Amino acid sequence: MCGIIGYIGTKKASPILINGLLRLEYRGYDSAGISTVEKNGLSIMKDKGRVKNLYNLKGIDDLDGTIGIAHTRWATHGKPSKENSHPHMDNSKSFSVVHNGIIENYNELKNFLKGKGYNFYSQTDTEIVPNLIHYYYSKDSNNDKYRVLRAVQSACKDIKGSYAFEIISKYMPNNMIVVRKDSPLVIGKGDGENYVSSDIPAILSFTKDFYLLNDNEFAFLSKDNIEFFDINLNKIDKKIDSIEWNASAADKNGFEDYMLKEIYEQPSAIRETIGSRLPENEPCNFEDLNFSKEFLSSINKMYIIACGTAMHAGLTGKYVIEQLCNIPVTVDIASEFRYRNPIIDKNTLCIFISQSGETADTIAALKLSKSKGATTLAISNVIGSSITREADYSIYTHAGPEIAVASTKAYTSQVTLLNILAIYFAEVLESTSKDIITKFKKEILELPAKVEEALKCSDDIKDFSKKIYQEKDVFFLGRGVDYNTALEASLKLKEISYIHSDAYAAGELKHGPIALIENDVTVISVITDENLVEKTISNIQEVISRGAKTLVISSLELPSNNIDFVINIPHTSVFLSPIVSIIPFQLLSYFISKEKGLDVDKPRNLAKSVTVE
């Protein structure tokens, strides 16, 4: 997905911008570019392909400007090409703009500008922006220092859609303007210099002090100062936020890939998620939540809404909340939820899960729920992300930055947090006995050690990956929460190994999917629930008798049978088991992807954070 970097200070901007873009590569992109303010006007250097290609562009070393904007593009309007890459300039080459988001009415605005004599050289929606700013700038006769800002504000009033813009201009050679609506943007404050980025980790090595822009807020930056304005250009004050992550947390730390590093970080990430939320002999402690018994008793229905892996975490959230709190929970895919007419009212609690906090569908679903009167609670890994700013309440997974596109530690932290949240609700509601809760808390505290233990299956999994990496199809089976794990295992395998896979609730096999089972097809099952072990085993026998090759991941003693491979993992209580049982599957996808020589961290066609629909 597109990424943005900006720098304003006293150092040469171009190397800082390119380095920042390199840190954004994990988001996925197809072209990159920078624009700086030079003595003789604005420069633009951009091209299709990798960020490092920018180093080879003729003239890049001659750029001396100390103010600049930069962008990695992930095509939405127009194919990946040099012309469609950002930054974009207006016809008079006075304004340079980078943009994340989508301008919905760009055709209408383009036609308007064409009518005024403007020409267009790209297929992008963004190219209208510098031209629209030029149009309004030319109409303003007041030549004070905010003339460009007023032009930007007028342009924004015309634009429908989502955007984070960075704007530089030859008419304000010591300033930069940024504004956002429904697309992420942060400003990092340095000493005599300031940074802008769509992602905090990209500029974490420069500063830990950030201003988080809200929708429709403008920032007018110089190297020493940042002025903030609301939609009507009234000055506003903003408080600075300090981010705890350190820059090295965002590096690979000696691992070959970010994904592997993040898989191995899970014991510590889960420890961080637990944090001080489970004090001994006391109720669960959620600093940011103060739900009363009266309020929670008024909730007669919950939704958990998310996309991809976060949605799979939500599936386990449903099981545990329903069990401990006796409140019905529906899990919804955000992109489906937002386009139907969900039955929601003030007695509904909607929980949104998003690692990045910037997923467009999840944010839209959140806005919809709010508009229907629900109470909204965001679960995110990124402090100050859009979903946390929209929601009534926010809690954080604290898993540290997740860079690899395939989500691993965010998932296990989300499932951990949902379990703790369920306990919190149950304690407030007094809906589960103290003994059960005490036992459950103890199991949660043991999780990091159990995940550590599960990681020891790495060599066995690596061996197994060598046997199946050339497969065309792999099937995953599970029952109960093990089905949730099967779904997540299948998604992981698809996204980084490009092997077709499907996950089925084991009991569904007979209702159709068993027709796909033939000699030598790989079927991988997960069994962690003692109440369901026999049922799943009989489903496995059904596929064995049709010639399938079988692997079972289990935390239980299995009845002796003719399964080809069994990998044992530590046992834990049923609602926590997806946290432990997903580990071998994450490793399996990783090793298969490596065996196939694929780019584990940046799988094709995928982006880390899906900030457009």
* Catalytic machinery residues: 2, 608
Count of residues engaged in binding ligand M6R, rule: CB under 6 A: 16
Contact call for residues 456 and 319 (beta carbons, < 8 A): no
Contact call for residues 411 and 397 (beta carbons, < 8 A): no
Lay out the sheet containing 329-333: strands in order across.
329-333, 301-306, 348-354, 375-380, 393-396
Min separation Cβ 609 and ligand M6R, Å: 5
Residue 355 near ligand M6R by CB under 6 A: yes
Among 66, 198, 359, 458, binds ligand M6R (CB under 6 A): 359
Min separation Cβ 291 and ligand M6R, Å: 24
Residue 354 near ligand M6R by CB under 6 A: yes
Min separation Cβ 264 and ligand M6R, Å: 17
Q: Are strands 301-306 and 329-333 parallel, antiparallel or unpaired?
A: parallel
**Closer to ligand M6R at the Cβ: 89 or 363?**
363
Residue 397 near ligand M6R by CB under 6 A: no
Burial letters 496-515, b for 16+ CB under 10 A, else e: bbebebebbbbeebeeebbe
d(Cα 198, Cα 100) in Å, to the nearest integer? 8
Residue 309 near ligand M6R by CB under 6 A: yes
Contact call for residues 111 and 59 (beta carbons, < 8 A): no
Among 70, 403, 610, 612, binds ligand M6R (CB under 6 A): 610
Residues belonging to the chain: 613
**What mask of x and - would describe binding to ligand M6R in positions 540 to 569, judged by CB under 6 A?**
------------------------------
d(Cα 228, Cα 220) in Å, to the nearest integer? 6
d(Cα 156, Cα 484) in Å, to the nearest integer? 43
Residue 589 near ligand M6R by CB under 6 A: no
Residue 583 near ligand M6R by CB under 6 A: no
**Closer to ligand M6R at the Cβ: 132 or 259?**
259
Residue 269 near ligand M6R by CB under 6 A: no
Beta bridge partners of 375: 349
DSSP 53: G
Nearest to 45 by CA among 3, 2, 102, 96: 96
**Closer to ligand M6R at the Cβ: 217 or 495?**
495
Instruction: Give the residue ranges of DSSP H helices in 140-265.
Output: 147-158, 258-264
Among 307, 329, 477, 569, binds ligand M6R (CB under 6 A): 307
* Main-chain phi, psi angles of 411, to 5 degrees: -60, -50
Residue 362 near ligand M6R by CB under 6 A: yes
Beta bridge partners of 265: none
**Closer to ligand M6R at the Cβ: 193 or 601?**
601
> Nearest-CB residue to ligand M6R?
308
Min separation Cβ 363 and ligand M6R, Å: 9
**Closer to ligand M6R at the Cβ: 50 or 494?**
494
Residue 385 near ligand M6R by CB under 6 A: no
**Closer to ligand M6R at the Cβ: 348 or 362?**
362
Beta bridge partners of 578: none
- Residues of this chain that interact with ligand M6R (CB under 6 A) are 307-310, 354-356, 359, 362, 405-407, 491, 495, 609-610
